[in-house]
Structure 1
Amino acid sequence: MDYAAAITALEKVIALENKQKDKSQLAELLEHKDVVKPKAKVKKTESNLVKRELPYFKYHPDPTVTGAFETDTVVTCDCCKQPTDVYYTNPFFAVDDIEALCPWCIADGKAAEKFEGSFQDDISVDAVNDKDKLMELIERTPGYNGWQQEYWLAHCNDYCAFKGYVGWQEIEPLLDQFADIESDLASAGGLRLTELPNYLKDNGSCQGYLFQCICCNKYRLYYDFD
Structure 2
Amino acid sequence: MKLKGITDVFFDLDHTLWDFDKNSALTFEKIFKINNVNINVNDFLTHYIYINLKYWKLYREDKIEKKALRFCRLNDTFKAVGFHVDDDLIYKLSEDYIIYLTSYNHLIENTSEILDYLSSNYKLHIITNGFDEVQQGKLEKSKIDKYFKTVTNSELAGAKKPNPIIFEYALNKAGAKIESSIMIGDSYEADITGALNFGMEAIFFDINTVTLNTNIKRVTNLLDLKDYL
Q: TM-score range by the shorter chain?
A: under 0.3
TM-score using structure 1 length: 0.26
Structure number with the higher helix fraction is 2
Based on CA coordinates, which of the two structures has the bigger radius of gyration?
1
